[in-house]
Structure 1
Amino acid sequence: MKTLQSFRARTGEALGAPLPATTPEQVDAAATAAGDAFAAWAASSGEQRATLLRGLAAALESDREGLVALADDETALGPVRLNGELDRTAFQLRRFADMAERGVAFAFTDDPAVPGAPPVGHPAMVRQCVPLGPVAMFSASNFPFAFSVLGGDTASALAAGCPVVVKAHSGHLHLSNRVFGLVQQVLAAQGLPAGLVGLIQGGGADVGVRLVRHPAIAAGAFTGSTRGGAALQAEASARPRPIPFYGELGSINPVVALPALLATKGAELAATLAGSIALGCGQFCTSPGVIVLIKGAESEAFVAQLHTALAAQNPHAMLTPGMRQAFDAGVEHLVHAGAQPLLREAGNAEAPRPFLAQVEAADFIAKDALREEVFGPSSVIVWADSVAQVLQVLHAVGGSLTVTLWGAETDSTDTRALVRGAMAIAGRVLFAGVPTGVAVTAAQQHGGPWPSSTQPMTTSVGDAAIDRFLRPVALQDAPVWLLAQQGRPV
């Protein structure tokens, strides 16, 4: 029997007893159980879905002390951050509960018949949505609550009427199992099938790939590396019946800082940006990995201020030894590609020191290696000669979860061009603040062009996340009894 070992992030010591890896047969059983639970859950009312989601939120909060302590052991993210993340996770669950209760998943468009010949005349049509089916959900390393067992993917899928099979992340195995235990208690208390939410764990084709390939699975949701997400997307597309795969992948999140603003707020912005680069040891999908500056005295002064502020940061241990090694390898890769280090200090085996480098815009545009994400407290300054070259830099990035534009408050030809350039490559454009931190709101868009996500039309955060797991259906000349359902399941 294969086993999995969890580790204390701060020391690398083994944490707890080894856990059994899910066998291929158990993967199949979890997917089959989700498939068996689908019909009844797809037909559930908004009130039933809301009751489950609120029960899951309450269960999380009831075990807060134990969950946060365990998460801190496995991730080193600290109790303040983890308590805040648990609050966000409960908030997400309750927000989707409210949406389910309001009937968001049952919204419909009524298009009455128009007499006469086409194209003006047409039969009566109603457009509504149905749930896709069981969802394979792959937990993220860096958000052990908000993008894990009861994270936004699970919450939005359940609100849409879809069962979920969660693939636990190896970086917080014991936490995932403890949360899953709470899930099973809530399901049992509400008389719901245990297969409505399943959990599998382990690596390789025996687990994650097998889950995506299982015929009962109707969609995939993933947060992680570009390489891992691309491999799973390929599996989802290669099935006899391909399924949608919603992957939130790598992103370098450019920050463009214009000279006029740096002249008046440079020191303040440098401190803010340094904190964002080092936040969570840089383990955010929205961490600012690229800073685009136009050459000049204001930008040079800003770099000096950023160097000082970043050197004063003390990132905590990374989530896993593998991520720590990958960070060092990524930094070395940037330097080998031609990035000139400005701040590079040795860290320890668990916690790295911040890394800052610089490169000419022409080199950044020409070399793919300079545009690769380094997961950790790292950022590269890109020196541009003009706004036109800044736009070339953004175009070279190609796709990003975010672009931040500092100094675009005044309407001009240049700022309009920068806004167009930013919107062309990003799912979210910021004009103040920093990209780390993604609000759960109605207007949020967390997803952008490749390589930041596999489906740039969708979001993995915010109210619209539910749309990923719903499929539109048109009902033509439907009988009166069916129309009376008002979009609700039959």
Structure 2
Amino acid sequence: PEGTFSLLYGPGSEVGSALVQHSAIKAAGFTGSRAGGQALMKLAAERPEPIPFYAEMSSINPVFILPGALAERAESIAKGLHGSMTLGMGQFCTNPGLTILDGSLNIEPFLARLAELVGGSSGGTMLNSGIGAAYDSGVSLLGGNDAVETLALGQAGDGVCQAGAALFRTSADAFLGQKKLAAELFGPSTLLVTHDSKDKMLDLAKSFEGQLTATIHGTEADLEANRELLSILETKAGRVLINGFPTGVEVCHAMVHGGPFPATSDGRSTSVGTRAIHRFTRGVCYQDFPDPLLPAELQEANPQGIRRLVDGNFA
């Protein structure tokens, strides 16, 4: 190309829409809201020449805390969850927006400690006024929901686009009965959902839309007794974590930063890691070519000395 652009800035969706529809663009990636991603997906599909479009959109990244882990590590889980939900003012696409635990157990000390941490959080700056306003609106809606209890609100700063952390609690029945409680609230908040049985916990897991991540905190005994939960989460998320927190995304060969819709528009893809480049490539078969006409990577002598798959075997 004659030149490249690292940033094109403009109001609303004008720039993104123009890029997705331009005839020179053959594939596009997106990170943003569900509504924005779906609008661009539609434009990409309706072009005279439709193109691949990879949108990363909405994910609440559920965290399941099983009984044994809570009994053994309540303090460290509370600190880790607080750190994860407030990292970057909660503006990571892997922010843990939903936490599930057994309300029939003695969970009050854990809730009190987490509420203390959230209530003592410093405020911070949201990425722009629109994101800040959407977060404030979401916090207000949850706080005004009769089925939701506000456990803690952190202090927001006095400047522009400032927000504070928030912690809410609801029941499994309320969550399952109100679809709006499963909507992503982009920012430093998490909704605690308490259940009273393993069956209800599995009902919660089955109800989720596609996610970027799903996390389980459990002991060996917990995990062995909850294999069905793991099996469900494998169908819901691109990355499943055990005894960790989802906000760290390593750039490596194994990383899958994607997931079923609406986490992404194509659950087969990843936007982080070695395979991310595959979104912007396509295969070409060279049949019956004279060796000199082949790309160097395919020539018999392998002049670049690369690892290749030859007749089904790596060489």
Looking at structure 2, the residues matched to 231 and 386 of structure 1 have their Cα atoms a distance apart, in angstroms, of: 40
Task: Check if 1:302 corresponds to 2:110.
Answer: yes
Q: 2:218 aligns with which of 393, 398, 407?
A: 407
Give the drift of 1:441: 0.6
Task: Check if 1:347 corresponds to 2:193.
Answer: no
CA contact (8 A) 1:275 1:310 kept: no
**TM-score computed with the length of structure 1 as normaliser:** 0.57
Residue 162 of structure 2 aligns to a residue whose secondary structure is: coil
Identity %: 40
Which residue in 2 is equivalent to 1:216?
Answer: 24
User: Can you give the 5+ residue segments of structure 2 that lack an aligned partner in the other structure?
Assistant: 300-315
- Residue type at the aligned position of 1:342: L
Cα separation, partners in 2 of 1:412 and 1:267, compared to 1, 3 Å? closer
Which residue in 2 is equivalent to 1:385?
Answer: 196
CA contact (8 A) 2:165 2:188 kept: yes
Give the drift of 1:226: 1.2
Which residue in 2 is equivalent to 1:464?
Answer: 275
Q: 1:362 aligns with which of 173, 177, 183?
A: 173
Give the drift of 1:306: 1.1
Task: Check if 1:226 corresponds to 2:37.
Answer: no
Which residue in 2 is equivalent to 1:451?
Answer: 262
CA contact (8 A) 1:278 1:315 kept: no
- Residue type at the aligned position of 1:363: A
- Residue type at the aligned position of 1:207: V
Looking at structure 2, the residues matched to 252 and 443 of structure 1 have their Cα atoms a distance apart, in angstroms, of: 22
Q: Equivalent residues in 2 for 1:8-47 (5 A)?
A: 37=1
Residue 401 of structure 1 aligns to a residue whose secondary structure is: strand
**TM-score computed with the length of structure 2 as normaliser:** 0.87
Looking at structure 2, the residues matched to 434 and 268 of structure 1 have their Cα atoms a distance apart, in angstroms, of: 12
**Deviation string, structure 1 residues 319-368 (Cα, Å, up to 9, x no partner):** 22222211110112223443221113563453322111111112212222
Which residue in 2 is equivalent to 1:442?
Answer: 253
- Residue type at the aligned position of 2:122: N
Q: Equivalent residues in 2 for 1:93-242 (5 A)?
A: 193=2, 195-197=3-5, 199-204=7-12, 206-242=14-50
Which residue in 2 is equivalent to 1:34?
Answer: none
CA contact (8 A) 1:400 1:451 kept: yes
**Deviation string, structure 1 residues 217-262 (Cα, Å, up to 9, x no partner):** 1011111111111111111111111111111112111010011111
Which residue in 2 is equivalent to 1:315?
Answer: 123
Task: Check if 1:481 corresponds to 2:292.
Answer: yes
Give the drift of 1:375: 1.1
**Deviation string, structure 1 residues 267-293 (Cα, Å, up to 9, x no partner):** 111011111111111111111100000
CA contact (8 A) 1:259 1:296 kept: no
Looking at structure 1, the residues matched to 80 and 222 of structure 2 have their Cα atoms a distance apart, in angstroms, of: 25
Looking at structure 2, the residues matched to 408 and 464 of structure 1 have their Cα atoms a distance apart, in angstroms, of: 32
Give the drift of 1:433: 2.0
Which residue in 1 is equivalent to 2:237?
Answer: 426
Give the drift of 1:460: 0.5
Task: Check if 1:417 corresponds to 2:228.
Answer: yes
CA contact (8 A) 1:262 1:298 kept: no
Structure number with higher helix proportion? 1
Cα separation, partners in 2 of 1:475 and 1:388, compared to 1, 3 Å? farther
Looking at structure 1, the residues matched to 40 and 157 of structure 2 have their Cα atoms a distance apart, in angstroms, of: 33
- Higher mean C-alpha deviation, range 387-396 or range 431-440: 387-396
- Residue type at the aligned position of 1:431: I
- Residue type at the aligned position of 1:222: F
Task: Check if 1:262 corresponds to 2:70.
Answer: yes
CA contact (8 A) 1:280 1:315 kept: no
CA contact (8 A) 2:171 2:193 kept: yes
Give the drift of 1:414: 3.3
Give the drift of 1:487: 4.0
- Specify the structure having the higher radius of gyration (Cα): 1
User: Can you give the 5+ residue segments of structure 1 that lack an aligned partner in the other structure?
Assistant: 1-36, 38-192
Looking at structure 2, the residues matched to 409 and 298 of structure 1 have their Cα atoms a distance apart, in angstroms, of: 21
**Deviation string, structure 1 residues 419-452 (Cα, Å, up to 9, x no partner):** 1111111111111221111011110000111111
Give the drift of 1:458: 0.6
Looking at structure 1, the residues matched to 22 and 294 of structure 2 have their Cα atoms a distance apart, in angstroms, of: 34
Task: Say what the alpha-carbon RMSD is for the aligned residues.
Answer: 2.0
Cα separation, partners in 2 of 1:198 and 1:276, compared to 1, 3 Å? closer
Cα separation, partners in 2 of 1:204 and 1:327, compared to 1, 3 Å? closer
CA contact (8 A) 1:257 1:292 kept: yes
Q: 1:244 aligns with which of 49, 52, 57?
A: 52
Number of matched pairs: 296
Cα separation, partners in 2 of 1:255 and 1:205, compared to 1, 3 Å? closer
